[in-house]
Structures are given as structure tokens and as C-alpha cells.
Structure 1
Amino acid sequence: MAASESDQDPLEEDVRVSALEERLKRAQDKERVRQGHRNRGPDENQRLGARVLSYLVGGVAAGFLLGWAFDTWLGTTPLFLLLFFFLGTGVAFRKIYVISTQSARDAKADVPKDDQG
């Protein structure tokens, strides 16, 4: 038994294993095609969640930056920063409220072309 084990190189890949892996890969590919599996992007709920998050973050950030810019330009310290911060937050919440009160069919029709996937 020791003589036969020393004749084979243990690091050499067995041809049977590689052939089995190839057959398995082909069978899995056939099964994916048969079931109609394809790479799908995010579903409608994920797109809606990302849209809501972008409105919230964008409204707050835009209000903060615009307020900071006006305060820097006019020399007023926290006045415009706070005003635009709350205004941007309010606009974001209003847009989220409008989205949440729309029916599913209306919301899908109102999505801009670049948001549809």
C-alpha cells in the first residue's frame, strides 16, 4: 500500500474531480435557465426606501449647506443655518408624506424616468 501511495503526487489534481466540477457547473447553469433565473436589480420596495432616504438626507444636507453659505456670506452666525436646516428638513418630510399617501399605482407613475429600473 505504501508503494502505490508514493507513486501518485498528492498535489496533482485528480481528473475525475475536475470533470465532476465541470458537469456540476453545467447542470447548475441549465437549471438556472430552466427556472428563468436572472440577475434582478432591487425590487420596488428597495427603490422606494432608497428614494425616501435620499429625500431625507438630501433635504437636511442641502438646507444645512445653504444656511451655512448664507451665514458666511452675510456674516450672521446661526440665523440662516438654523432657518434653512429646518426648512430643508420640513421639505424632506413633506415629500416623504406625499409619497406615503399615494397609492401604489400613482406612485409608480410619478417616479422620474431615471429612478425606474
Structure 2
Amino acid sequence: MAENEPWQDPRLPEDARLTSLEKRLKQAQLEDAARSGRNDKASHKGRSQGMRILSDLVGIPFGSALIGWLIDGWLGTRPWVMLALLFLGFGIAVRNVLWIARQRPE
């Protein structure tokens, strides 16, 4: 019978081999992170930049098209102002993405 089965009594002492394995695994992960120069803070900033790029590419054109649609309804010029603001929104989104891409994720 294996010692770490799910139905094992939780009051029994922990297996020394498992504790040793966990310590060695933690040490190996720390050494790997130090060797590769990675840390969790850099990965979080990179993820944050990616989400910002995604939201800019979707939100800015959508918001500008919505504003253009409202202005078109008010002026009665459908769909010209909406199209103009949609393309302006894409241009602004691309400019923001290029600006974000120049920043280092560290």
C-alpha cells in the first residue's frame, strides 16, 4: 500500500522522502531562476503590458466608433463620422502599441 494515498490518515507524520524531495525541488527552481535571470516581477509586468496592448487594440477603435456613431445620429451624416473616427481610433491604438512595445518589461 502506498504511503501517500488520498485515503491516508492525515494525522500520520509526513514522509521524510517527500519532504526532502520538496526541498530539493525548491532549491532547483531557485537555482534555475537565478541562472536564467528570471523573476516573477518581470513576468507580471510583461503580462500587464500584453493585457494593455489587447485592451488598446480593442477598446480605442470601439470607443471611437461608438462616439462617431452617436455624432452621426445627431448630425444625420451616417456612416461618415463613425468611419473617420474608427480609422482615427485604429491609428491611435497602433501608436499606443508601439509606445508600449518600446518599454522594457523589467
| TM-score, structure 2 normalization | 0.60
Report the equivalent of 1:48: 49
Q: Which runs of 5+ in 2 are unaligned?
A: 30-39
Report the equivalent of 2:8: 19
In 2, Cα distance between equivalents of 1:58 and 1:19: 52
Q: Deviations over 1:22-43 (max 9, x none)?
A: 358xx68xx48x9399xx8972
In 1, Cα distance between equivalents of 2:8 and 2:96: 57
CA-CA distance at 1:94 after TM superposition = 0.6
CA-CA distance at 1:98 after TM superposition = 1.0
In 2, Cα distance between equivalents of 1:19 and 1:100: 52
Larger RCO: 1 or 2 (CA < 8 Å, sep 6+):
2
Query: Could you list the runs of 4 or more consecutive aligned residues of structure 1 that deviate by over 3 angstroms after TM superposition?
Result: 34-37
Tell me, what secondary structure is at the counterpart of 1:43?
Answer: helix
Letter in 2 for 1:35: K
Q: Which runs of 5+ in 1 are unaligned?
A: 1-16, 109-117
CA-CA distance at 1:44 after TM superposition = 2.5
Tell me, what secondary structure is at the counterpart of 2:8?
Answer: helix
Report the equivalent of 2:34: none
| TM-score, structure 1 normalization | 0.55
CA-CA distance at 1:78 after TM superposition = 1.1
Q: 1:35 aligns with which of 10, 19, 26?
A: 26
In 1, Cα distance between equivalents of 2:44 and 2:67: 34
In 2, Cα distance between equivalents of 1:52 and 1:69: 26
Letter in 2 for 1:19: Q
Two-structure CA RMSD over aligned residues (Å): 3.3
In 2, Cα distance between equivalents of 1:45 and 1:101: 12
